[in-house]
Amino acid sequence: NHFELINRLYKEQILPKEDFIRLIEHRTAEDAEYLASLARKEAQKIYGTGVFPRGLIEFTNYCKNDCLYCGIRRSNPNVSRYRLTEEQILSACESGYELGYRSFVLQGGEDPYFHDERIVSIVSAMRKSYPDCAITLSLGERSPESYQALFEAGANRYLLRHETATEEHYQKLHPEAMSLARRKQCLWDLKKAGFHVGTGFMVGAPGQTAAHLAEDLLFIKELNPKMVGIGPFIPHHDTPFKDEPSGTADLTTYMISILRLMNHHLLLPSTTALGTIDPNGREKGILAGANVVMPNLSPIDVRKDYALYDNKICTGDEAAECVGCLGRRMESIGYHLEFSRGDYREYL
Ligand code: SAM
Ligand code: FES
């Protein structure tokens, strides 16, 4: 086992790249259980056994990008494209608010239709109607001015996964028009604009090695985000990666535990993708040190069209069903949903 390495990570909250690689490549079931037990304990010291739900509103599946892994990539002609109106978005928030949500995430493809003026209007309306809620955006790469305007309109947080911190690997996953340098720059711009920033990556993305994962961890240490979203890569049948294998729940939960030990305060979602590859994936994520879930609040008739990968769960369920289901799932492992803004806790 690698308990000595794990103890060092626990104490120093970082390891040299070579040690991260060793910890990932040569992991054992014993290592995973030990890591998870430390990660859980640290998460509970700061956040107790509460898990923060964020209501996810997938407001557009138009995208100008062509990421090779993603089901809603521009060159997939089989997507039935939709955009929600401002009214539809606000009404999704309204039903979420009634169910208890105090934290909303607006996510979409990179859709030029939602230029600054449109999205600022939506965020301002959300802020005005729900002054007590946290608003998180996940709209991809934009200009520093755009980020500034969105922050001033009342958004608090922004999720932008870096996807992979290794240049060659980034090029394998994205068309030439996209660059890791720009992606990283956006993350720094978001911080500068005042956002609480979330980044992250897919586990088991095609071509990914332990060295790539180690680079991801080192980049995250440098960026020092408040949130890190990781989930397994899952193939989508209409993409160039359709025959690639999915990432595993084991490695995903292992990475969740490592991230928790690198920053005990982190907001770490147990993702829908993790719940998709394993029927108890979300519970396993929480037990590995995650403390956030992001159930879907989008109108039911568009959910199946926001298919980033195959077999996504909860695409046919009412928002109310997901709250009940997730609440029971959390209780089955000794946790509970905590309906609050779910802010990052700096202090114990
Ligand atoms: N367009 C915004 C962006 O790029 O940040 C937000 C939406 S994007 C679809 C959200 C995330 O979905 C990406 O950061 C990516 O990691 C994840 N994703 C896309 N395709 C996936 C797949 N096949 N399996 C697992 N996750 C995937
Ligand atoms: Fe949606 Fe279980 S979380 S039905």
Are 63 and 111 spatial neighbours (Cβ–Cβ below 8 Å)? yes
Query: What pLDDT does residue 53 have?
Result: 98
Are 285 and 270 spatial neighbours (Cβ–Cβ below 8 Å)? yes
Are 137 and 106 spatial neighbours (Cβ–Cβ below 8 Å)? yes
Does residue 320 have a pLDDT over 90? no
Query: What pLDDT does residue 347 have?
Result: 84
Its ipTM equals 0.97
Does residue 348 have a pLDDT over 90? no
Instruction: Say if ligand 1 is within 6 A of residue 241 CB.
Output: no
**DSSP collapsed to 3 states, the chain:** CCHHHHHHHHHHCCCCHHHHHHHHHCCCHHHHHHHHHHHHHHHHHHHCCEEEECEEEEEECCCCCCCCCCCCCCCCCCCCCCECCHHHHHHHHHHHHHHCCCEEEEEECCCCCCCHHHHHHHHHHHHHHCCCCEEEEECCCCCHHHHHHHHHCCCCEEECCCECCCHHHHHHHCCCCCCHHHHHHHHHHHHHHCCEEEEEEEECCCCCCHHHHHHHHHHHHHHCCCEEEEEECCCCCCCCCCCCCCCCHHHHHHHHHHHHHHCCCCECECCHHHHHHCCCHHHHHHHCCCCEECCECCCHHHHCCCCCCCCCCCCCCCHHHHHHHHHHHHHHCCCEECCCCCCCCCCC
Query: What pLDDT does residue 317 have?
Result: 85
Instruction: Using the mean position of ligand 1's atoms as its centre, give its distance from the Cα of residue 197 in Å.
Output: 16
In ligand 1, the atom with minimum distance to the C-alpha of 160 is 5
Largest Cα separation within the chain, whole Å, is: 55
Instruction: Say if ligand 1 is within 6 A of residue 308 CB.
Output: yes
Instruction: Say if ligand 1 is within 6 A of residue 233 CB.
Output: yes
Instruction: Say if ligand 1 is within 6 A of residue 234 CB.
Output: yes
Cα angle 107, 317, 47 (rounded to 5 degrees) comes to: 60
Class of domain 3-337 as given by CATH: alpha beta
The distance from CA 101 to its chain's CA centroid, rounded to whole angstroms, is 18
Nearest CA to ligand 1 atom 13: 161
Provide φ and ψ at 214, rounded to 5°.
-60, -40
Are 3 and 254 spatial neighbours (Cβ–Cβ below 8 Å)? no
* Ligand 2 pocket mutation, candidates 322, 328, 330, 332, criterion most atoms within 8 A of CB: 322
pLDDT in tens, 163-191: 999 999 999 999 999 999 999 999 999 99
In ligand 1, the atom with minimum distance to the C-alpha of 234 is 24
Query: What pLDDT does residue 171 have?
Result: 98
Does residue 319 have a pLDDT over 90? no
Distance CA 240, CA 290 (A): 31
**DSSP β-bridge partners for residue 5:** none
Percent of the chain with pLDDT over 90: 98
Instruction: Using the mean position of ligand 2's atoms as its centre, give its distance from the Cα of residue 322 in Å.
Output: 4
Average pLDDT, the chain: 97
Distance CA 16, CA 163 (A): 21
Percent of the chain with pLDDT over 70: 100
| Cβ atoms within 10 Å, residue 318 | 13
